[in-house]
Amino acid sequence: MDNTPKPKVTGKTAVITGGSQGSGRETAFLFARKGYNVVICAREPARLQSVADEIVKAIPTASVLAIPTDITQRDSVDDFIDIISDTYESVSVLVNNAGVCLSGSFADTTLEDWDSQVAVNLMGAVMVTQGLLEPLTESKTIHHSLDASAGARTIHPLLLMPVLEPGPSTSL
């Protein structure tokens, strides 16, 4: 058995939580079109892999890794971070897109509903961001973390465009 470590993937890498649908899916396509390595996560493996396959079909040069992850579970997030750290040299962009949007009235919203929203929209983003701080800071390209989770079901992907526009310290 060969125990030689595999070389890590180089280049700009974008990590997108909630990448299996909606704005997360569209954001993954956007970064793939820009030539980034794309890592997407979500809870539903089949839907997540379907998005990765769609991206590669539409953009044959795309590099997409789909990692089923429940960002409300520390062990799942730790596994997600370990896979990214083992696979990629650095992370250029983190988009915390996973989110739960409550739509009922305040009176009809249960404490369990609130717990779920806080677990995904706040603590999930905190755990993923903390876990990726080292790979983000090792990046020699772009250092962005965008949290779109609070309105994940209503944010239009074009609102994310400023993240992709080069500024004084960034280059695409």
Query: Each residue of 10-66: pLDDT tens digit?
Result: 999 999 999 999 999 999 999 999 999 999 999 999 999 999 999 999 999 999 999
Which of these, 11, 29, 32, 8, lies nearest to 20 by C-alpha position? 29
DSSP H or E run through 91: none
Domain extents for the chain? 13-152
Reported as a pLDDT band with limits 50, 70 and 90, residue 154 is very low
Task: Decide if 13 contacts 90 (C-beta within 8 A).
Answer: yes
Q: What is the pTM of this model?
A: 0.82
The CATH H-level superfamily of 13-152 is NAD(P)-binding Rossmann-like Domain (3.40.50.720)
